[in-house]
Amino acid sequence: MRKINIAIDGPAGAGKSTVSKGCAVQLDYTYIDTGAMYRALSLKALRTGTPLDDGEKMTELLKSTSIRLVGNPKVSEVYLDEENVSEAIRTSEVDSVVSLTAAHLGVREEMAVKQRRLAAEKSAVLDGRDIGTTILPDAELKIFLIASVQERALRRYKEMQERGKPADYEEIYEAIIHRDELDKAREHSPLKKAADAVEIDTTVLTVPEVISKITALAEEKV
């Protein structure tokens, strides 16, 4: 059977991580959460007082930082300098600054090397913003997940509540719009659908429905 990589891109809260993990479990693939890498670097910058809008300093910080993903699909963990930060990177504080981190070319180039290395052996599902356009332009299957802003905000709201975190729907709604705008407008590798990506609108689909659509497309490629 042919080994393939699956690129899953899309805006915040479109269901990429849940769906990507589900696909990875079903196909027995590695799950690579590229957003978690930008989140981990943002967390380190917040902790060390590094200015997130300074591209040179952020690139230097990344070069002296270890970010390790455990992508066995059943557990998806992120280690920052060997500390498990899987929970710590999912705060509204990190949400509000991560697009600054991700805008720097130097940071993106370093991340790209790491991400391509992780995907080199194929059989990986990568979830991000620029996987199909920049990181793996030759990925055998590219998906662009979208959903209405209302639905995406509602999902984030429920997710925060489930984790026992304070959540305000209006604030989440505004934050999602703001983050998408920054991710779409940035100069380097903006959030954009690859020309050969299959767009799936998840607004009215269940998670198992989306996973089965993607795994069916993957089966056609292997």
Q: Which is nearer to ligand C5P, 75 or 222 (CB)?
A: 75
Which one-letter amino acid corresponds to residue 70? V
Smallest CA-to-CA distance from 203 within 8, 11, 26 is with 11
CB–CB of 29/219 below 8 Å?
no
Query: Which of 21, 129, 152, 155 touches ligand C5P (CB under 6 A)?
Result: 129
Q: Which is nearer to ligand C5P, 111 or 218 (CB)?
A: 111
Q: How many residues bind ligand C5P (CB under 6 A)?
A: 14
Q: Is 12 in the site for ligand C5P (CB under 6 A)?
A: yes
Name the percent of the chain in helix, strand, coil, to the closest 5: 50, 15, 35
CB of 1 to ligand C5P, least distance (A): 27
Q: Is 110 in the site for ligand C5P (CB under 6 A)?
A: no
Q: Is 38 in the site for ligand C5P (CB under 6 A)?
A: yes
Q: Which residues pair with 8 in a beta bridge?
A: 127, 143
Q: Which residue has the tokens 């659509």?
A: 213
Q: Is 102 in the site for ligand C5P (CB under 6 A)?
A: yes
Smallest CA-to-CA distance from 90 within 17, 36, 130, 13 is with 36
Residue 16 annotated in ligand binding: yes
Q: Which residues bind ligand C5P (CB under 6 A)?
A: 12, 34-35, 38-39, 98-99, 102, 128-131, 179, 183
Numbered residues of the known binding site for ATP = 10-18
